[in-house]
Amino acid sequence: MKSISILGATGSVGLNTIDLVRHNPKKFNVVALTANTNVEELSRLSIEFDAEIAVIADESKFPALKDALSHTTIQCGAGEAGLIEAAERESDLVMAAIVGAAGLRPTLAAVRRGATIALANKECLVCAGDLFMTEAQKNGARLLPVDSEHNAIFQVFAFDQAKSVEKIILTASGGPFWNRRDECLRSVTPSEAIAHPNWEMGQKISVDSATMMNKGLEIIEAYHLFPVSPQQIEVVVHPQSVVHSMVQYTDGSVLAQMGSPDMRTPIAFALSWPERMKAPVERLSLPDVGQLTFSKPDFETFPCLQLAMEALEQGGAAPAILNAANEIAVEAFLNELIAFTDISSVVKATLDKIDMKAPQSLSMVFALDLEARNTAKSILDKFRR
């Protein structure tokens, strides 16, 4: 039996994790479950899995949560302190599946107790990469990548022969607009942007996939997770999402990990690591897929990808600013306040406006994140429709 806590249990990754736990009742027992606002789903899941503690991030929902669980022995928590408490609880594995920089403090709490962490929340590594990894190393926390590309690389990366790795190749589906040109993108709606052709995901990452910021964030994520330089990370567009990523070695070998586009495969890998478990996913049939195609990314139509690559090269404060501005811009786009193509403009303008001094501590990262959010919000006004 493995004990597991799921931060962000009601989201897309969270529910895929729950689905695997449900399929394997003898393998897992649930310690903590958290959600942002959805009390109904959180309490339902906590009762189904007899969790020790359920935490709702939105403090105004705490009375509703207590009420929903009053006939049980499940403890209740709320707010950031509650999320941290959930992450600190002893468990064999923590699934870090909160979206955005909001996941940083709770994930850090798990890191600081030296937990084994199935890491879905890529924004943690984008906004605090070096400091986060140092903290993980110092406390003996183990990070198991859940993001499908990073999970693929983790599976084929020869960590004991890192010098023989020439580059890692991240595949990108290209999102719903990969073959469109800039002029057509200005008027796309939130519902068009979140309709990803291959993956069903939360709204924020779906918009990131449509702008290709997601791939940019993933380049930064890969840089922190694997011993490679920014120049050793390449992106290829692969619309079928069958090859989840590749590692190229000095002898010319390229190793790829493949599978149907279903997050339950990389999640299952992380949940059962170092073993493998059965996952109820559709098996890959290459004859049915027929063709696998690859092309170079279009940096002109998708400027977010370039902005993220530059932020990684620049280092220091740039990735954290990029991430914060992107979160604000994506939210504004989802609320129909700015156009799709303004997302990259808001991010760029925010990067141009803030002093690039590198944060030396995690508290400086939080201050920088806040400053970048406020700057991005003030910049939004220029783009408002």
Binding residues vs Mg ion (CB under 5 A): 147-149
Across the chain, the runs of DSSP E, i.e. the strands, are 2-7, 28-35, 53-56, 75-78, 93-96, 116-119, 142-145, 165-172, 233-237, 243-249, 254-258
Residue 303, both tokens: 């400027």
State which residue, 216 or 383, has the beta carbon closest to ligand NAD: 216
Considering CB distances under 5 to 8 angstroms, the limit depending on partner class, which of Mg ion, ligand NAD, none binds residue 108?
none
Q: Is the dihedral of CA 296, 243, 265, 112 positive or negative?
A: negative
Shortest separation between residue 27's beta carbon and ligand NAD, angstroms: 22
Q: Which is nearer to ligand NAD, 65 or 263 (CB)?
A: 263
Alpha carbons 148 and 118: distance in angstroms, whole number: 12
Q: Which of the choices Mg ion, ligand NAD, none does residue 14 contact, using the CB cut-off of 5 to 8 A by kind?
A: ligand NAD
Q: Of 334 and 362, which has the nearer Cβ to ligand NAD?
A: 334
Which residue from 77, 132, 79 is spatially nearest to 110, judged by alpha carbons? 132
- Could you say which residues in the range 101-140 bind ligand NAD, by CB under 6 A? 102, 120-123
Pick from 139, 142, 199, 299 the residue near ligand NAD by CB under 6 A.
199
Length of the chain, in residues: 385
Stretch near ligand NAD under the rule CB under 6 A, chosen from 2-10, 310-318, 350-358, 375-383 = 2-10
C-alpha to C-alpha distance for 217 and 302, rounded to whole angstroms: 13
Residue 122: what residue type?
A: K
Is 147 a residue that touches ligand NAD (CB under 6 A)? yes
Q: How far is the CB of 225 from Mg ion (least distance, A)?
A: 12
Binding status of residue 98 toward ligand NAD by CB under 6 A? yes
Which positions from 29 to 48 touch ligand NAD by CB under 6 A, shown as an x/- string? ------xx------------
Q: Rank residues 57 and 127 by Cβ distance to Mg ion and give the closer one.
A: 127
Residue whose C-alpha is closest to residue 306's, from 347, 336, 277? 347
Q: How far is the CB of 381 from ligand NAD (least distance, A)?
A: 24
Distance CA 199, CA 120 (A): 15
The pairing of beta strand 93-96 with beta strand 116-119? parallel
The β-bridge partners of 370 are none
Fill in the DSSP letter of residue 283. Answer: P
Output the six-digit token pair for 314: 């620049």
Q: Going by DSSP bridges, is the β-strand pair 233-237/165-172 parallel, antiparallel, or unpaired?
A: parallel
# chain residues binding ligand NAD, by CB under 6 A:
26
Nearer to ligand NAD, 158 or 367 (CB): 367
Nearest residue to 279 (alpha-carbon basis) of 84, 94, 27: 27
State which residue, 68 or 222, has the beta carbon closest to Mg ion. Answer: 222
205 binds, among Mg ion, ligand NAD, none (CB under 5 to 8 A by kind): ligand NAD
52 binds, among ligand NAD, Mg ion, none (CB under 5 to 8 A by kind): none
Comparing CB distances to Mg ion, the nearer of 12 and 375 is 12
- Give the residue nearest to ligand NAD (CB): 11
Nearest distance, CB of residue 6 and ligand NAD, angstroms: 8
Distance CA 49, CA 116 (A): 21
Q: Say whether residue 244 binds ligand NAD (CB under 6 A).
A: no
For residue 319, the number of C-alpha atoms closer than 13 Å in the C-beta half-sphere is 29
> How many other β-carbons are positioned within 10 Å of the β-carbon of residue 214?
27
57 lines the binding site for ligand NAD (CB under 6 A): yes
* Residue 202 in contact with ligand NAD, rule: CB under 6 A: yes
The 254-258 sheet, strands edge to edge: 233-237, 165-172, 243-249, 254-258
Dist. CA 15–CA 35, nearest whole Å: 11
In the bound state with ligand NAD, the residue whose beta carbon lies nearer, of 268 and 349, is 268
For binding to ligand NAD (CB under 6 A), which residues are involved? Answer: 8-14, 35-36, 57, 83, 97-99, 102, 120-123, 147, 199, 201-202, 204-205, 263
